[in-house]
Amino acid sequence: MSYNGHIAVEGPIGVGKTTLAELLAERLNGKLIREPVDDNPYLADFYKNRERFAFQTQIFFLMNRYSRQEQFAYGDLFSACSISDYLFAKDRIFARINLTEKEFVLYDKVSSALERNAPPPDLAIYLTADVDFLMRRIKKRGRPYEKGIDRKYLETLIEAYSGYFFHYSDSPLLVIKADNVDFIRDSEKFSYLIDKIISKPSRTEYISFDSLAIDGK
């Protein structure tokens, strides 16, 4: 199977973005582009003291993500497909909830200038999950710097993601509830998702793996 274009997988912390992106890259013979999370020198301090280190953390992520945009714009000689475990525009979701009003004004000036040169994906996949699922996943993977993530912050983040993707219109969008599917173990559901991607959705579609039912708008 093949897919031409850029697919971006998104969702809150711990939802399984990277896992799904890796699976898609393998199945679609695509180039995998991971979010540079571990490269951020401010991230551990941010989770200890969000107010103090939010701006440094956000600007680093913004610039680092932007530096990788050329991989989407110019593609790959050996692969017509690229899969990222992040959406460039998602940076603004975190900025809205973490920065002060004055910090966001400065951030917005930088971000708005960069976004003009950041093409949207050909398809976005938004993974949703409840806070209990995310807390379990974060605890299970055991990243030291994520120990400072609390339930209230995740609830705020889930709400921010939900609001952003409710109004999302930059590309076709697949919305998947991630706490009722394991794409690694359930090959049938993963194949179903691949078929949906290959069919080139043209709008927002909601996939429920509880009954393999699809809703669209």
Per-residue pLDDT, 77: 47
Please determine, for residue 73, whether its predicted confidence score (pLDDT) is greater than 80. Answer: no
Nearest-Å Rg of the Cα atoms of the chain is 17
Task: State yes or no: pLDDT of 83 exceeds 60.
Answer: yes
HSE toward the beta carbon, residue 206, CA cutoff 13 A: 10
| Residue 105's pLDDT band (cuts 50, 70, 90) | very high
What domains lie within the chain, and their CATH numbers?
5-216 (3.40.50.300)
Q: Do 45 and 58 meet the contact criterion of CB atoms below 8 Å apart?
A: no
* pTM of the full structure: 0.89
Tokens of 69: 């945009």
Which stretches of the chain are assigned E, i.e. beta strand? 5-10, 31-33, 81-84, 123-128, 173-177, 204-208, 213-216
Is 151 exposed, middle or buried, given 0-12, 13-18 or 19+ CB atoms closer than 10 A? exposed
Burial class (CB in 10 A: 0-12, 13-18, 19+), 50: middle
**Alpha-carbon distance 54 to 178, whole Å?**
28
What is the pLDDT averaged over residues 204-213? 77
pLDDT at site 194: 96
| Placement of tokens 């910090």 in the chain | 103
Active site amino acids: 85
Q: Decide if pLDDT at 92 tops 50.
A: yes
The two most distant CA atoms of the chain are separated, in Å, by 49
pLDDT tier for residue 74 given thresholds of 50, 70 and 90? low
- pLDDT of 168 higher than 80: yes
Q: What average pLDDT score do residues 163-183 get?
A: 93
* pLDDT score recorded for residue 116: 84
The yes-or-no verdict on residue 213 having pLDDT over 80 is no
The whole-number average pLDDT for the span 191-211 is 90
Across residues 102-117, what is the average pLDDT? 92
> Each residue of 41-58: pLDDT tens digit?
998 899 889 899 999 999
Does the pLDDT at position 69 exceed 80? no
pLDDT of 101 > 70? The answer is yes
The residues, ordered by sequence, that sit 6+ positions from 148 with a Cβ below 8 Å of its Cβ are: 47, 48
Does pLDDT of 76 surpass 80? no
Q: What angle is formed at CA 197 by the lines to CA 76 and CA 191, rounded to 5 degrees?
A: 110
